[in-house]
Amino acid sequence: MAVTSRFDLIGKVALITGSSRGIGESMALDFSAAGAEVIVTGRKLQAAEAVVDKVRQSGGQATAYAYDATLQGEPEALAENIRRDLGRLDILVNNAAILRPHTVEKLSYEEFEEIFTVNTRAAVFLSKACFPLLKESEAAAVVNIAAAGAHRPLGGIGAYCASKAAIINFTNTLAREWAPTGIRVNALTPGSVATDMILPTDPERREKFEKDMAGQNLMNRLADPIEIAQAVRFLVSPAASFITGQTLVADGGYLA
């Protein structure tokens, strides 16, 4: 196998949750460019279909599903739809997440439950629901998207940081349990990324926010979503065939 082909995803079917925008959208486009057939999900089907259109315009293959990570039964329904429509699954990226900035004294039960439901519970039960499909693959891989706050908690987003720390712990557990089946399980910690999830809508506040966040890492800039997408592609590609139970950090040196 040629060196470059070790990073290809030709013939793979990849499910990326939360892929109707941001990092997830970049993953969908990057994975497709590498040869994968991509499954795009989002709460709004129309948004997911818009990404599918971009993939197809670039000559790739993609399917869209509406998927609400807050609802019980959605992981099982999504896995059933994938088996019915595509018949296989080789790659799962648990990327869907929400951020509710609040200090602990302002945190409500409802917000706490929502954060852990979307960021943690959904990844656990979607992985479980997709396990029968993944174990049928010759070289399946799972990547759970963590966060720098899982390693270095930040004031104001404590529940979010805790939910992502739980994801890293779950990643290690799943890697141990699924290793006998040949499924690799890793996590990816991105640094500050220029996406709508973290950026203020006000132009002046956004400019200041970007400058402040960029100054916190060694590279003195925010990441482009494609830089995170390519790091995830490495983890699910044949190039990472001996890597499991690990957390790859792509943060520009923030945690250094």
Catalytic residues: 160
Name which of 180, 87, 84, 68 is nearest 125 in CA terms. 68
Task: Give the list of residues 6+ apart from residue 250 with CB closer than 8 angstroms, or none.
Answer: 188, 189, 190, 191, 223, 227, 228, 231
Computed on alpha carbons and rounded to an integer, the radius of gyration of the chain in Å comes to: 17
Rounded CA gap, 64 and 40, in Å? 5
Bridge partner residues of 145 (DSSP): 188
Name which of 46, 69, 30 is nearest 38 in CA terms. 30
